[in-house]
């Protein structure tokens, strides 16, 4: 059984036991979260994509840790003017583990 969920502007294919990183969620470590934006559920070749049927579906996950992603360096440069700007960014992420999928 797997599901396709949408969170943080991205879509993820998840199954029970999967661990992965998503955009930061406001949740404590070791707490349980419900991911409700479900796009598709596949239960042994029974694919559900109907919006009214997916409203009752949910994916429950446990927050494992809050972390930052890799550093992305931004360098702006204009030729022959001496213009140089160097900045960086680290995206806040949340690592979660999928505990159950209910359809």
Answer whether 22's CB lies under 8 Å from 8's CB.
yes
Tens-place pLDDT, residues 21-34? 999 999 999 999 99
CA dihedral 28, 30, 36, 38 (to 10 degrees): 130
Tens-place pLDDT, residues 16-73? 999 999 999 999 999 999 998 888 898 887 888 888 888 888 999 999 999 999 999 9
- At residue 102, φ and ψ (nearest 5 deg) are -120, 130
How many residues appear in the chain? 103
pTM: 0.83
Map out the domains of the chain as residue ranges: 2-102
d(CA 24, CA 7): 10
């Amino acid at each position: 059984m797997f599901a396709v969920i949408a969170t943080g502007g991205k879509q993820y294919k998840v199954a029970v036991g999967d661990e992965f990183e998503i955009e930061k969620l406001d949740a404590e470590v070791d707490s349980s979260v419900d991911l409700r934006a479900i796009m598709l559920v596949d239960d042994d070749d029974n694919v559900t994509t109907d919006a009214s049927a997916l409203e009752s579906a949910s994916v429950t996950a446990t927050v494992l840790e809050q972390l930052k992603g890799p550093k992305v360096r931004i360098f702006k440069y204009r030729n022959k003017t001496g213009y140089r700007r160097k900045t960086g960014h680290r995206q806040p992420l949340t690592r979660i583990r999928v505990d159950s999928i209910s359809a």
